């Protein structure tokens, strides 16, 4: 067995112990990571690791969620990779308004620097977050 494979297996075991996941769950996360690697975000180059904690089992969070904003959010690729805990936990954007606004401000700053004006942003997403 190669040295790099041994190191990887040690990392997997340490991660599984720390996160209380089985190796099969970890492998499922890796498969999801392959899927997430195909999703492109204008804000992040790597969508496989959680933005907040670095876990390798990230989910795709649409910064502007809800029926009114999900389509423009998808069109503009305004996504953040978040693990399940950071995405839907008490400190995640769905439960924590401050975290939600932090992500929305980050997305609006990017929009105004690279895509369009503040007025265009407000037309598309319905509100100014800055």
Interval 104-130 mean pLDDT: 92
* Domain-located, residue 130: no
| 61 occurs within a structural domain | yes
Look up tokens 């969620």; give the residue: 65
* Domain total of the chain: 1
Residue 32 is predicted with a pLDDT of: 47
Does 18 map to a domain?
yes
Does a structural domain hold residue 47?
yes
73 is a domain residue: yes
User: Contact at 8 Å (CB) between 125 and 118?
Assistant: no
Whether 90 maps to a domain, the answer reads yes
16 or 119: which leads in pLDDT: 119
Residue 43, token pair as written in the block: 């804000």
pLDDT band at 30 (very low <50, low <70, confident <90, very high): very low
pLDDT class for 55, splitting at 50, 70, 90?
A: confident
Per the structure, the complete domain to which residue 18 belongs is given by 3-125
Decide if 12 is inside a domain: yes
Q: How confident is the model at residue 75 (pLDDT cuts 50, 70, 90)?
A: confident
Q: Does 13 fall in a domain?
A: yes
Band (pLDDT 50/70/90 cuts) for residue 38 is low
Q: Are the beta carbons of 57 and 87 closer than 8 angstroms?
A: no
Q: Is 54 exposed, middle or buried (0-12, 13-18, 19+ CB in 10 A)?
A: exposed
pTM above 0.85, yes or no: no
User: How much is the pLDDT for 99?
Assistant: 93
């Amino acid at each position: 067995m190669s040295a790099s494979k041994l190191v990887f297996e040690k990392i997997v075991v340490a991660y599984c112990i720390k996160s209380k996941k089985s190796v099969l769950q970890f492998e499922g996360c890796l498969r999801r990571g392959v899927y997430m690697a195909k999703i492109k975000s204008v804000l992040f180059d790597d969508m496989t690791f959680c933005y907040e904690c670095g876990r390798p089992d990230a989910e795709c969070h649409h910064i502007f969620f809800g029926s009114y904003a999900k389509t423009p959010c998808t069109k503009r690729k305004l996504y953040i990779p978040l693990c399940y805990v950071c995405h839907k936990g008490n400190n995640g954007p769905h439960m924590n308004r401050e975290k939600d606004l932090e992500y929305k401000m980050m997305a609006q700053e990017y929009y105004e620097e690279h895509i369009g004006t503040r007025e265009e942003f407000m037309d598309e997403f319905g509100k100014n977050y800055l």
